[in-house]
Amino acid sequence: MSSNFRPKNYTPLEVSTIKNFIEKSEKIKNIIGDTNEIEVKEVGDGNLNLVFFVESKKNSICIKQPLPYLRVLKDWPLTLKRSYYEAEYMKTHSEHVSELMPKIYDFDSELCTITMEKLSPHIIMRHGLINGITYEKFAEDISTFMAKTLFFTSDLYLKAHQKKELNTKFILNTELCKITEDLIFTDPYMYNKNNRWTSPYLDKQKKEIENNNDLKIAVSRLKIKFMTETQSLLHGDLHTGSIMVSENDTKVIDPEFAFYGPMGFDIGALIANLLMNYFSQNGHEKNPGDRKYFKKWILNLIIEIWNKFENKFSNLWDEYPQGDAYPFKMFDNKNIIKNEQINYLQNIYNDSLGFAGAKIIRRIFGFAHNIDFDWIKDPKDRAICEHKCTNLGIEMQTNFHKFKNISNLIETAIKLDSENVNF
Amino acid sequence: MSSNFRPKNYTPLEVSTIKNFIEKSEKIKNIIGDTNEIEVKEVGDGNLNLVFFVESKKNSICIKQPLPYLRVLKDWPLTLKRSYYEAEYMKTHSEHVSELMPKIYDFDSELCTITMEKLSPHIIMRHGLINGITYEKFAEDISTFMAKTLFFTSDLYLKAHQKKELNTKFILNTELCKITEDLIFTDPYMYNKNNRWTSPYLDKQKKEIENNNDLKIAVSRLKIKFMTETQSLLHGDLHTGSIMVSENDTKVIDPEFAFYGPMGFDIGALIANLLMNYFSQNGHEKNPGDRKYFKKWILNLIIEIWNKFENKFSNLWDEYPQGDAYPFKMFDNKNIIKNEQINYLQNIYNDSLGFAGAKIIRRIFGFAHNIDFDWIKDPKDRAICEHKCTNLGIEMQTNFHKFKNISNLIETAIKLDSENVNF
């Protein structure tokens, strides 16, 4: 299913060829200045891309270049076209959330490179959370990011033809969607050679998942939603590894999975990754109780993010009612629309829970795991954290109606976290 | 919002230029034979297109050419591109239902003409139904048409990337979608200068519609579904005026509104138009009771169509489980999928009722009406039929859950039809 997209002049950059790359682009050269004194590092720790940091006296930049295969599995080809989707996503959303993404300086469609500002002193949020660092501005920032990106590309804001025209730019990002369809919605629920889990402790839970028909139907319904519902232009991979933070700043990166899909998929990705971090905390404690304050903070963070998102999304809807959905000229009585907003957001909330549940299961039983759990050295300790989190992930998919609001979800997370697991 | 699509050599054909048109195409000339003895008639009775019938000794053909505006309102421009969508739809679905559509001989992308077989002795089904003619093979044919067109273009049958690739061919049919969005889901529920209804009898009901907030929310939810849910490649206008019938044959025509949307929209269009015909029958009786048998037949027809559709769709799903939705390798226990089919089809049924309700309201209070009602000469008689049918249309949108199955719907139709309306 891999595309044959490979521009004629594509070749992977190396530390030694970066200088030449910069000199060929007037735009990038202007930012960097004198290329004789640049310092270049390759820092890509992901599976998919080369990432170079370039520092000159004048400035510092980040050059991201996709590889035509998945780094850990060279026999897994992966379209280079994904950098186009990433650049298009950033271009589209920069109208409303430019301050929450890195500045793009250049997109080179031959080398497939995106050259952007080097963020500093930002770190990958997942690392910060694993270390128990709190980010007081994060709820405010990420709720703005989600509310604006999801609202401004939906039928609530756009005319129907505008949305479909925008969708045409992303609709063929099918190779990256396929990764999600397989790795999130399918493989963890059956035998697949790429699946892994903390064995032998979680062997029994893995079997239970494979035999849980309600769960398999629930995840299949989510998969269909993912494949058919073109609500908004999504990031497509909005976990805490795709977010860089400093004490006072938040930047969303890596939107190469961008596509038109259900809003709850982005929101769910974030909620899932925060919940997984919560459940992983016991495994990172040096002394029992070390992370008590942090655990409380991160659960409150989830509540705050959802509430702020809900609030901001509704406000945008009030402020910009010009989309083709719910035409405002049809509703003299504004209370009617207010009530419908509650219903609409409840649906997004339900979707978010379901997708979050699916994201949890895939990170514990699928191919790609999170370091939140993986960095817990003792396998039994890790399995205990993962087991509890999995129980929540299953409930979120099969019984999302039980969690009428975000506080109900958090109460259940606390309850499951406090239960004993005996292996 | 009109596109500027106008091929350089586009010019409307006339009876006098048809001969020249045929002679320029080797393909069409071969079908027609000697062009010196052809007989040409312009027979388009629609609002959108020129239609020529051409008969030679050897064969007869139909040439359909779009006009760049709506015939009745010359200031309403309409993209010529629609013939491309029509031809693409027929090409796509002919793999599975070629016997249920006319044969296409040629698509001329400059003149935007579609040249196809001339159907004979077929008539437009709506005319037959108004005259009380029954078609015994119709339920079988149209249920096959709907089951196959909807199933084979869905994620149940296709791989996700195949579906999206197919969708790219239709996604920019936004001008024709816009007509639906406005004329079906918006205008009838508010003041619009193009609305009309049988006044003064229905003035009160029109006001009630404008003040019925539940109904306006219901139709807005259907509109969002129409704009966001890419389930299958739809005909987009599957009413009884888009179907030609003879005693033993059924052909679906005019798929220029084709787009990827919710399955229930096509099914609902058909059900709505059969229900409207049912409610119009009292107005066409020469003597009271004349149409008693026919009315019973048409209600049974609706039941039969739905039941056959449901059955055939499930069978296709059983037979071709290779799509990316509900991956069969994930479900060892086939009963699980069987149960889910019931749920899936219940959702399609619910959608179909809602869309049918919206189709009813638009034909009684919107811009474009049906001759089923319009040909009832006495305005009061007409209004009585329309009033009853409207009551059902409102219920189908706001209380579709009340009609658990198709028989419940038919019972309510009978009940509403039997009630007295006093103006």
Structure confidence by residue, pLDDT tens digits, A342-376: 999 999 999 999 999 999 999 999 999 999 999 99
Q: How far apart are the first and last CA of chain A?
A: 41
Work out the mean pLDDT of chain A and round it to a whole number.
95
Bridge partners (DSSP) listed for residue A65? A50
Nearest to B329 among A190, A217, A331 (CB): A190
B168 and A171 in contact by Cβ < 8 A? yes
pLDDT score for B312: 98
- CB contacts of A342 in chain B (<8 Å) are none
In 10 A of CB B276, how many CB atoms? 28
In chain B, residues with a C-beta closer than 8 Å to the C-beta of A85 are none
Strand A259-261, strand A249-252: pairing: unpaired
Chain B neighbors of A177, CB-CB under 8 A: 160-161, 164
pLDDT, mean of residues B123-146: 98
- The DSSP bridge pattern shows strands A232-234 and B232-234 to be unpaired
CB contact under 8 A, B325 and A220: yes
The answer, yes or no, to whether residue A1 has pLDDT greater than 60, is: no
Average pLDDT over residues A225-252: 98
Q: Does residue B94 carry a pLDDT above 70?
A: yes
Picking from A154, A216, A233 by the largest number of B CB atoms within 10 A of its own CB, the best residue to mutate is A216
- The distance of A239 to chain B (nearest Cα, Å) reads 23
Q: Which positions in chain B touch A171 (Cβ < 8 Å)?
A: 164, 167-168, 171
Asked if residue B209 lies in contact with residue B188, where contact means CB atoms within 8 angstroms, the answer is: yes
- B contacts of A150 (beta carbons < 8 Å): none
Quick one: CA dihedral A372, A376, A379, A385, positive or negative?
negative
CB contact under 8 A, B324 and A181: yes
List the single residue in A327, A336, A340 with the smallest CB-CB distance to B186.
A327
Residue pair A343/A337 in contact (Cβ under 8 Å)? The answer is no
From CA B284, how far away is CA B294, in angstroms rounded?
Answer: 11
Q: Which of A167, A186, A216 sits opposite B171 (nearest CB)?
A: A167
Mean pLDDT of chain B: 95
Q: How many other CB atoms are found less than 10 A from the CB of residue A69?
A: 15
Chain A interface residues (partner B, CB cutoff 8 A): 1, 155, 159-161, 163-165, 167-168, 171-172, 174-175, 177-178, 181, 186, 189-190, 213, 216-217, 220, 223-224, 227-231, 324-327, 329-331, 333, 336, 340
Confidence class for position A68, pLDDT limits 50, 70, 90: confident
How far is A238 from A241, CA to CA, in rounded Å? 8
Answer yes or no: do B213 and A333 touch at CB < 8 A.
Answer: yes
The model's pTM is 0.96
Which residue from B minimizes the CA distance to A336? B213
The answer to whether A239 and A272 have CB atoms below 8 angstroms apart is: yes
Domains, chain B, with CATH or none? 15-117 (3.30.200.20), 123-418 (3.90.1200.10)
Region B232-254 average pLDDT? 97
Cis amide leading into A200 (omega within 30): yes
φ/ψ of residue B266, rounded to 5: -70, -45
Q: Is the pLDDT at B46 greater than 80, yes or no?
A: no
The chain B residue lying nearest A228, using CA atoms, is: B230
User: In this prediction, what percent of chain A has a pLDDT beyond 90?
Assistant: 93
**End-to-end alpha-carbon separation of chain B, Å?**
41
Do A178 and B186 count as a contact with CB atoms less than 8 A apart?
no
- Residues with Cβ within 8 Å of B337's Cβ and at least 6 positions away in sequence, in order, are B317, B321, B326, B328, B331
User: B151, B224, B225, B365: best mutation site toward chain A, by most A Cβ within 10 Å?
Assistant: B224
What backbone torsions phi and psi does residue B253 show, to the nearest 5 degrees? -125, 175
Q: Is residue B257 predicted with pLDDT exceeding 70?
A: yes
- What ipTM was reported for this prediction? 0.96
> Across residues B109-128, what is the average pLDDT?
96
Count CB pairs under 8 A between chains A and B: 110
A14 has a pLDDT exceeding 60: yes
A351-A352-A357 Cα angle (round to 5): 100
- Reported as a single tens digit per residue, the pLDDT across B167-198 is 999 999 999 999 999 999 999 999 999 999 99
Q: Per the CB < 8 Å rule, is B181 touching A155?
A: no
Tell me what pLDDT residue B3 has: 59
**B51 phi and psi angles, rounded to 5 deg:** -130, 125
The pLDDT of residue B13 is above 80: yes
Place B1 in a pLDDT band, splitting at 50, 70 and 90: very low
Residue B327 with chain A: CB contacts under 8 Å: 186, 220
The pLDDT of A233-238, averaged and rounded, is 98
CB pair distance less than 8 Å for B171 and A168 = yes
Note the pLDDT tens digit of each residue in A385-398. 999 999 999 999 99
Contacts of B164 in chain A (CB under 8 A): 171-172, 174, 177
pLDDT in tens, B137-171: 999 999 999 999 999 999 999 999 999 999 999 99
B205-213 LR contacts (CB < 8 Å, sep 24+)? B205/B365, B205/B387, B205/B390, B206/B365, B209/B361, B209/B365, B209/B390, B209/B394, B212/B394, B212/B398, B213/A331, B213/A333, B213/A336
Given a cut of 60, whether residue B2 has pLDDT beyond it is no
Of A175, A223, A336, the CB nearest to B217: A336
